[in-house]
Structures are given as structure tokens and as C-alpha cells.
Structure 1
Amino acid sequence: MPTISQFFGIVIQMFWREHALYAEHEAQIDIRTLEVIVGHLPRRALNLTIEWAIEHRQELMEDWNLCQARQQPKKIQPLE
């Protein structure tokens, strides 16, 4: 899966479904609602991921559209 961002040990990947990885944890998050679909992240990692997603929602939607067209998503700036 293409990695679109990384910050604080969290890896954000997108390919048909959004994934957030942190250590041995993994979650799929709906970018429209920012709700966890499947999986689990520790509270801090989830909060950071949601904060990042809110800041970059438009870019996430653009990447999602690229994935739907079977194109490579673009990198997104990490949370600072």
C-alpha cells in the first residue's frame, strides 16, 4: 500500500481503504466521517491521526479519488 504520510511513529497508507499503522496496531478509518471502520489504535495515536486527517481532509479526498482511478496517491505533509 502506498504510504501517504508518517508522523510520531504513525504510518498513513491509502489503497482502496485508508490505513493507519502504529507499532503492532492498525486501523481502517473512513475519511468522510473519520470513524474507525476496522481495527484499533491507542487513544493518543488515534487522536493524532484524526487531528492530521481534519487538517488534510481535502488532500485525503483528492488522494482517494486518485486511488479510485487506480492512480498513485500523492504524499501529504505530516502532523507537526
Structure 2
Amino acid sequence: MAKGIHQEIIGRPHNLLEHYQPIDGVVDEMVDASGNPRPVWKDFIEALEGLGPEKLAQRFARADQYLRDAGVYYR
């Protein structure tokens, strides 16, 4: 299996935004200036956190495989 972000998620705490850093000077639609999730994203983030690290990693792996099968490449 190709190494991707999904492998880095296993073993992390369930707080997906713990190490998230907005980029200075760039509008961030997911979090406000204080790093708090905007209301429209809260349910989505909580749903991802509720999956747990293993299930979330499985879903990232499935998405990665779908993109490879579809011929989508990115760096």
C-alpha cells in the first residue's frame, strides 16, 4: 500500500484539529482566526473524529485507491 496521510492518522488523538495551523494571510473557510472550527464544519469534524483513527485511516486508504484507479495523480 502506498504511504499516504491515512497512515499518519493511526495512533493520533481523536482531535483532528489539534495540530492544524491556518496559514497567515490566507482565508480559511474551516476555522476562524482563533483556530476554532466554523459552525458549518463542526458536525463534519465531529463525525470524522467519531470514526476513530483506524476507520478514518481505512477511508483515506479507500479514497487514495479510488484516485489511483481513476488515474488522478497529485504531489
Q: TM-score, normalised by structure 2?
A: 0.35
Please identify the structure whose Cα radius of gyration is greater.
2
By relative contact order (CA 8 Å, sep 6+), the higher-ranking structure is: 2
Q: TM-score, normalised by structure 1?
A: 0.34
More helix by share: 2
